Structure 1
């Protein structure tokens, strides 16, 4: 006689739901990265991709749910940003009997997560006692009166619900077109204004794109070195996201982030943000070269850390929400974002930095493709090992370790206890590299300046 399957508790169900959700996000990201070269945008500048929202309530989806819906829209080429559950569609049909709305046969929905906070106490025998709203209120009143109350604990569990895109529903009313969509020039000006108003300084130089944490500075190659404005702004937003992790902003630079896993995870978050902003602003997807990086992180570094991946999606969505709020003329809810009254001054300060380095891209009608410098390919494991043995330059060694995912894996296997020390070394070496690039940029930027710019006063910097 077969045994009945063991009944799962709500915590097991919640974890399984999160695992399925995170795996879906990771698979979608990997699929996008692998096919970035052949990927074609289903929307145009006249009909840009909007933020996913509920077709019945009008409310935008937030956090990790927003990430999954936007990524799904990219993969499935959905032009519509309206979503609904099956029950919501039924209610719409009931309210509009003249319409004949049905989900097409064979269409599959997308599972999202609904958070629910549970409140409980732990009994003497170790069992959990879940509290009702009445009991929670009663204990709160007792505590206010300084009466003895049990230790109340809280946890957030997740439950699934499935939504369908309006494009999957036959007979669904056509979406109204937006009154105005940004042109390419307006989009570029918006990105410039957004990053400048955030207070994150950007300086152009002759080296690669990078964010220097110690100096809290985004370093960008001169605009004319890119294949076009799309690639320039996609790269700039990627580095902007890294800068939001500074301790004065989202503070993602904790002890865990100083490990190789932490560095890789930060890059994973930035790739996710790049995909979302690319869809939102008609910017190119990250290069297919990033597929290996994403796959490597997912296979070698995640270690089943479902909460971490879920957190990454939430953090990427938070940054996108900040950008959307700024676009709408609102004060972004992010606590670190400067108040609107100082935005004009910050924008002017950034213009002065650009002028001082000769990066006057605002007046360029088109960035010349013939001067483009392609991103360097990551070296193979064999090349990295050979180069590592041949050089005594610590900066070169650091580059090799950080650029090659397979080399990172090898370092972890050979000496897992030294991971934090290695990360600390790389952080120290990055300062050396920064000084090297800074000196190089001072020399090279002179060639890009006009006589008037060479005699211009130094840009004002915030204290």
Structure 2
């Protein structure tokens, strides 16, 4: 077991001994909104659209912007009221009479995410964070890394089918340390791809088989804590690391022995990313 491995596990277990720790998402929520009106989309549109700003084709033209080649629009649905004349039998007279009836009809229109446009600056508020050199070294040293995008400002995830990581932009995080900890979590997930450490199977529809999902989350979070230790930021993130681990331990009936099983896999993932570059150690 490496020294970093021991340090990380000791700190995580110390945090868990404190009892219940609330996990906090490290970034601000950015619901889907209209770029011009700044009004959020509601109802089923929240499920249809990823977070961020949207514009209609007409709005893009009015602002002097362009749609990127190959970009596809999304739909926004709404109910439009209208009045219809219907015939009904009067319950008292038995006569057929005409009445006005208020109905709703489902309509939709097309919008484009701001990331699919050119020449239109985002109005979303961001915090200016300076990159951390040691953390950036780790990311740059991952030679077989997946593509990293910032397309969805609301979600951090690894997509094994596309071998792609999405993470909100640095500016949406409350602290730069949480940004790197979150990115490290997704980088650890990506090592499970069949072309890397092969924790995931080729024929799986998602990166995580249902039976091993909890264990994989433990691997990713412990691995993120190890990389944070390498980068010298673990003291800033360990409480949230432990809180996340605690939430997944509940799925495993609080079986703390799973931490050690996950830690072994996490160490393999960390070694894969860092190529065992001892110069990155920061303890």
TMscore range, shorter length: 0.3 to 0.5
Q: Which has the higher helix share?
A: 1
Q: Which has the higher strand share?
A: 2
* Length-normalised TM-score, structure 2: 0.46
